[in-house]
Chains A and B, each alone.
Chain A
Amino acid sequence: MARLSARDLTLQYEQRRVIEGLRTEIPEGKVTMIVGANGCGKSTLLRGLSRLLKPSGGAVTLDGKDIRSRPAKELARTLGLLPQHPVAPDGITVRDLVGRGRYPHQGFFRNWSHGDSSPHDLAVRHALEVTATTELAGRNVDELSGGQRQRVWIAMALAQETELLLLDEPTTYLDLAHQVEVLDLVTDLNRRRGTTVVIVLHDLNLAARYADHVIAMKDGAIVAEGSGSEVITEELVRTVFGLESRVVPDPVSGTPLVVPIGRHHYPHAHAAHDRAAQDRAAQDHAHAAQDHAAQTHAHAAHTAEPALEIAS
């Protein structure tokens, strides 16, 4: 069951066509992650889904109706969005920033302060609570750390009280602990409120762990779609990223864990065999080094190369 779907969606910037004729459905009440290489069109797809980018063909529909045919404010009460690098006005407090998430719920003239028990105030307080930012409410957003700030932005999106929430790389620039914290928070939101969440994420392993549904993209098209363990395979990583890898079960969550193989590391079939081979190699190397040392001592005049070898 899907509320948000793309029908033959074509998205382009000026003359450059990024996505052509894309079809997909966002499963309701689930966490969907869009993954893919840089420039594959995943952020563009999210911009299309969240009406930031006008389709040059096809449509994005919400409950069967084209999102562009709906009044902007009404849509904003159902479909929320957190762009990639939001910038807070200088000197704004956390509470005021979160309060601005209430915009689509406020009429033109009812825009001044509200009583403590007004729905607006309750929504703001709840959003602060859920994101553990109540303590920060009176602080200036400029003073916060990256992780705190990201929680505040999510609080603002929560205050909007939408049933769908789209996030564009919400963990960029965060350290690992804060990445996990943000994704935990979004998962809480999905589990407790049933919010449908769509996230563009770079980290395949975190995507596999937190997503109910994964959409993998390449060159503006969807190459695979399904649960994390269905989608994230060695073959997909090869196709999408052009990267050899091993995919093993995540020891914590059992979801696929991608271990990349670069040019400098070569995997071996059996770890035990590996270790034996390594030990032997190390011993050989040690002997070789001693030999070399003797030789280099003897031929001090021509030692540049062997000496380097020993050093390495």
Chain B
Amino acid sequence: MLRTLFAKPRLRGGVHAEERKSATENAPVITRFPLPKKLYIPLQQHVGKPAEPMIKVGDTVLKGQLLAYSQGMISAPVHAPSSGLIVDVNDYPAPHPSALPIRTIVLETDGKDEWLAVPTVEDPFLLPPEEISLRVGAAGIVGLGGATFPTAVKLNMGRENQVQTLIINGAECEPYLTCDDRLMQERAAAIIDGVRLMLHGMGTASAVVAIEDNKNHAYTAMYTAALPYAQIKVIQIPTRYPMGWDRQLIRYVTGKEIPVGARSSELGVTIHNVGTAYAVHKAIRYGQPLVNRIVTVSGGAVGQPMNVEVPLGTLISELFSFCQVNMDKTARIIMGGPMMGDALPHSTLPVVKGTSGVLALTQDELRDKQEQPCIRCASCVTVCPAGLRPLDMANNIRINQLDTAVDLGLKDCISCGCCSYICPSNIPLVQYFKFASGEVMARQQAQHKSEQTKKLMDARNARLEKVARLQAEEERERLAAKAERERRLAAEAAAEAEAEENA
């Protein structure tokens, strides 16, 4: 008893954000989304290097066909989300707050939605574990919780580190979002199958599926589906944002705290999202690569909020017109949840692998009030799950003391948004931290460039000197040769003259 009192807290910080999930959590996932005429498939939908296109404009492709292969160790391939004609490979706006251009393949669908025929495996559990991660990598699966880290890389790391525990993240702690909730309610058996395949692929003995206790239906469905498999445990965890932060969840489930700079697999734990487990099931059992996903469309400006399964590359504007979004009432479009998601400048941007939700929020739902002075209430310190002091960091960033902010732990900030959420003075704390992180990065790059410049200049000076020296040497040699020649001529002349005289 006493020991539990003095043990490290398993849960620190966090907020009880208003959930606002009721609009979408009770209706089934819509699967009859009309196939868009054009799909915009960015070549980088994951952490790591962008994929390299292997088709050209004018090619006809089938659904699931490889469009761009992965490049380098950390990367993921991209597949055709439907059958049709490749009409362009060019720069298009990226689903990013800046909407800056990104290399994108444009696919004109033919309406047949015809799958590429692939051989399927009889019993995937007979495959060697390496084969599972190879197939997962080839299917272009990335972490679907939003981090978009290539799943195959994580499976390999898990296998190499002989991980003992696999945690399946079904927390879905962001307000509004219910796509994982619905997936667990409707396709529990498939997820559990995916979990078993992942366990096989990593050679890991047991898995824990962690679901927040506000999702009772999902818990029941998953619990029932996992009953036949003793190695998979389904547990309920407290509802508290950011419960889905991988390191928080690992600490809650296993009591282990991941040191800064280390990967969880080094401590024998790996964590994957429920959506990822489902995608693994699809890829291994049916040979289907990751070409569509479930997206929550919600918010006050949405006429028909829903979870809808759409092909990747669908424009958000088409999604919005399907869900009857009132653009006049929309004050902000957000990709992801309202805590960590990013505001998008417009809606002609594609859905990508990491898009868990698209929100159209009205002004009333947002908090956009005037920033007021900090009263040092320290609620940001209390809610910070990373144990930082956001108020001190922001005060230093405000006066451009970035080094102090870094000393205070700027690099340990996970941008979860708890501090901005709780701040009674409406201070955009997370934005201060994002600004400062970018600035620190830019300074490092500039420092690097300055060093490079010095090297370039030294090289140039050395080269100029060498050229000058060589020229001088040549000149000297030329002069010496000339003198030699003249001396020889003179000697010859003298010899001749002597000979003549003698003669």
Partners in one complex: no
- CB within 8 Å of A: which residues of B? none
- CB within 8 Å of B: which residues of A? none
